[in-house]
Amino acid sequence: MKREAAFWDASALVPLCVHEAASRFVRQKLRRYSPVVWWGSSVEVYSAICRLQRGKEITEKESQGAGARLQMLKKGWSEILPGDELRDLAEQLLAKHVLRAADSFQLAAGLIWCGHRPAKRIFLCGDQRLCAAAVTLGFGVVALPQGPP
């Protein structure tokens, strides 16, 4: 059975690499939804892995395992590449929604992926502000659960 494509924000990818509260949930979603991601997502996920190691929330060995899982994920996902349209759209989204710059790129990439027709398109995300903006635009948002692992 072919999986349906969905846009995965970096916050939804991190729990696939590092054990955390939402890990089981996102693994289930990975069986159902094939990831489409923003070109910079791997950098955002790797940044999170490094931050967790520096903060001693994961060990060096766990960090290496997380990096290896990230490399495996990258082999199976589709990327929305940077360009003028994406940059311009990200700037427009910042004017209309309470987003950080990286999140505006994520949302712009999601819109480009679906041809600016987000209805019936899934957007997986763990950031509340980004989820709210995606809902406003018409995406079917799958929000990650919050809480202890």
In the predicted structure, residue 123 carries a pLDDT above the cut 60: yes
How many degrees, rounded to 5, is the angle at CA 90 between CA 85 and CA 92? 95
pLDDT band at 149 (very low <50, low <70, confident <90, very high): low
pLDDT band at 146 (very low <50, low <70, confident <90, very high): confident
C-alpha 64/C-alpha 87 separation (Å) is: 32
For residue 1, the model assigns a pLDDT of: 63
Domains assigned to the chain: 4-143 (3.40.50.1010)
SS3 per-residue string spanning the chain: CCCEEEEECHHHHHHHHCCCCCHHHHHHHHHHEEEEEECCHHHHHHHHHHHHHHCCCCCHHHHHHHHHHHHHHHHHCEEECCCHHHHHHHHHHHHHCCCCHHHHHHHHHHHHHCCCCCCCCEEEECCHHHHHHHHHHCCEEEECCCCCC
pLDDT 10s digits, 20-50: 999 999 999 999 999 999 999 999 999 999 9
99: left (phi over 0), alpha (psi -120 to 50) or beta: beta
Mean pLDDT of the chain: 96
What's the pTM? 0.94
pLDDT band at 141 (very low <50, low <70, confident <90, very high): very high
